[in-house]
Amino acid sequence: MSKKLAEGIDSLVLDVKTGSGAFMKKEEDAAFLAELMVETGERMGKQVVALITDMDQPLGNMIGHALEVIEVVDVLRGEGPEDLRQLCIELAGWMLYLGGVAKSVAAGKTLSEKLINSGQALERFRQMVELQGGDPRIIDDPQRLPQAQHSLLVTSSKSGYVSSMQCEQVGTACVILGGGRERKEDTVDPAVGIVLHKKVGDAVSKDEPLATIYYNSESRSAQARQLLQESFHIADSPPGEKRTLIHRVIGKSG
């Protein structure tokens, strides 16, 4: 919060995660943290809204630096995974509303979708990449991003339905591959990562791929594979009521 407030902002939209892959596993803890941050911002004279969003499974399908850039570009093209698109539109709608560009959150979401469909959002992202010294050509040619040397499949040991995922274990598997730091002196490999082929509620057959691991180290891949395999829970019947992506909104009368 201190960094964001020091930037001289007028409004702030926070995405506070809850679930197995979040810092705050319990929703009540996430809500308490969100309320504290909203109150802090409001005391500083800022408009602040916090969305409590689900992290009981990874958001989108790709985990890893280069892979997530590909997914970002997909969303800005109006494609990409439904859950990631939904959350991006929701957050953008709130930002446009608090920024005074839209008269309501619903109008902000509609405007966000129009900006994506027209190509304006993707073009603005291209400008951001260029202004920060990046290579804007990767937007049209993702093969210019760092590429892992090897890949392997993680398959299901039985038929059934994905009943749940240990989201934190998926993140840890990516760190093991080199996609994050175990110690502060570690270097990050932007090429490695994981692509999910199945999410909670999906049907799966025995030996069908659950995920693909992209790696540069054989020793790291074996450990990551085991952890990823264990993170998928396969049941005989589909899970009950689907867990909502956006649990609640705190602030601005939410």
- Tens of pLDDT along 10-23? 999 999 999 999 99
Confidence of residue 59 (pLDDT cuts 50, 70, 90): very high
CA distances from 146 to 20, 66, 171, 215 (A): 29, 6, 19, 11
H or E element: which one contains 37? Answer: helix 27-43
Q: Is 24 helix (H, G, I), strand (E, B) or coil?
A: coil
Above 70 in pLDDT, residue 34? yes
Which pLDDT score, from 0 to 100, does residue 72 have?
96
Confidence of residue 254 (pLDDT cuts 50, 70, 90): low
Above 90 in pLDDT, residue 182? no
What integer is the mean pLDDT of 157-172?
Answer: 96
CA distances from 176 to 60, 84, 124, 196, 245 (A): 20, 24, 34, 17, 27
Which pLDDT score, from 0 to 100, does residue 212 have?
98
Confidence of residue 252 (pLDDT cuts 50, 70, 90): confident
Query: How many angstroms separate the CA atoms of 221 and 227, rounded?
Result: 10
Confidence of residue 150 (pLDDT cuts 50, 70, 90): very high
- For the record, the structure tokens of 97 come out as 């509303």
Which pLDDT score, from 0 to 100, does residue 1 have?
80
Q: pLDDT tens digit string along 93-124?
A: 999 999 999 999 999 999 999 999 999 999 99
Above 90 in pLDDT, residue 184? no
Q: What interhelical angle do 82-98 and 65-76 show, nearest 10?
A: 70
What integer is the mean pLDDT of 212-232?
Answer: 95
Start-to-end CA distance of the chain, whole Å, equals 20
What integer is the mean pLDDT of 228-252?
Answer: 92
Q: What angle do CA 63, 66, 69 make, to 5 degrees?
A: 85
Which pLDDT score, from 0 to 100, does residue 155 have?
97
Query: How many angstroms separate the CA atoms of 213 and 224, rounded?
Result: 8
